[in-house]
Amino acid sequence: MLGIHRQSPRLWRCGERELSLEAPLVMGILNVSPDSFYDGGRYLNFDAAVERARQMADEGASIIDIGGESTRPGADEINVECELERVIPVVREVCRSVDAAVSIDTRHLAVAASAVDAGADIINNIMPVDGDVGMAALAAGSGAGLVVMHMRGTPRTMNTLTNYDDVESDVYNMLRRSVDFVIEHGVDPAQTVVDPGIGFAKESAHNLRLIAHLDRLTSIAPVLLGASRKRFIGEISGTPGAEDRLGGSVAAVLEGVRRGASIVRVHDVRESVQAIALFNALQEIGD
């Protein structure tokens, strides 16, 4: 039966860590790749990457999400050895020296496994896990937190796979099946969160509908929203450059939180933490 294993939305078990979800958490993005759509190349240097992780933690990030492969639309796949060389030294040092949970952003089992061995607390897997026993087994065996995301195809092909009969129902049903699948393969429900995959095989109208109805997904598991500086913000606001999309990114964060997001994945930690703090203060007065 679908949907029978559901957790309290107030706790995320991530290995030896337990992250409270009583208030929204900020996940800071750390791309150690040369071609990510916004900050590609900024943190290829080991010292620069570790310093950025420290900075984001100081600014209020509860989680540092480290990725070594661009998953922007049209991106080519890199070989696993290259990805490992980019991310594992950074994961190891950030786990050792930064006071935040560490997430590995990857679609490759070997990279996820090596990152967990190096100390990562969370597997942020962008590929569908329904049928992928390997990722489920890794999460089950390690106890790492697991992000279950909606996506079609690969980064190279996903923009050709944007036809939906009903994007809300399609995303909901796929995520529900995927969470049931990983639980059936030994993952504790308290390890899982779901991500609607904003921008992954979705057009601007799809992204808006998913954010506007994000609360529907909270019946499956806590929700992670990653909309930071993505192309749909530029299409709606007339800002083609990702560097000009901070305002829209913060707006997406606040609407996501209002609609029930437990974690927001962002490039701009300081601004997002500040916006959420003000939002929460206003909510308390309103209540």
Task: Please spell the DSSP secondary structure of the chain, one letter per residue.
Answer: -TT-----TTEEEETTEEEE-SS-EEEEEEE-SS--TTTTTTT-SHHHHHHHHHHHHHHT-SEEEEE-S--STTPPPPPHHHHHHHHHHHHHHHHHH-SSEEEEEES-HHHHHHHHHTT--EEEE-S--TT-HHHHHHHHHH--EEEEE---S-TTTGGG----S-HHHHHHHHHHHHHHHHHHTT--GGGEEEE--TTSS--HHHHHHHHHTGGGGGGTS-BEE--TT-HHHHHHHT--SGGG-HHHHHHHHHHHHHTT-SEEEES-HHHHHHHHHHHHHHHHHH-
Question: Does 202 qualify as catalytic in the annotation?
Answer: no
Distances, alpha carbon 240 to alpha carbons 34, 41, 71, 87, 89, in Å: 20, 20, 18, 29, 34
Q: By the 8 A CB rule, do 199 and 171 touch?
A: no
Question: Does 13 qualify as catalytic in the annotation?
Answer: no
Q: By the 8 A CB rule, do 108 and 83 touch?
A: yes
Q: By the 8 A CB rule, do 129 and 101 touch?
A: no
| Catalytic-labelled residue, pool 86, 152, 229, 230 | 230
* Residues noted as catalytic: 230, 265
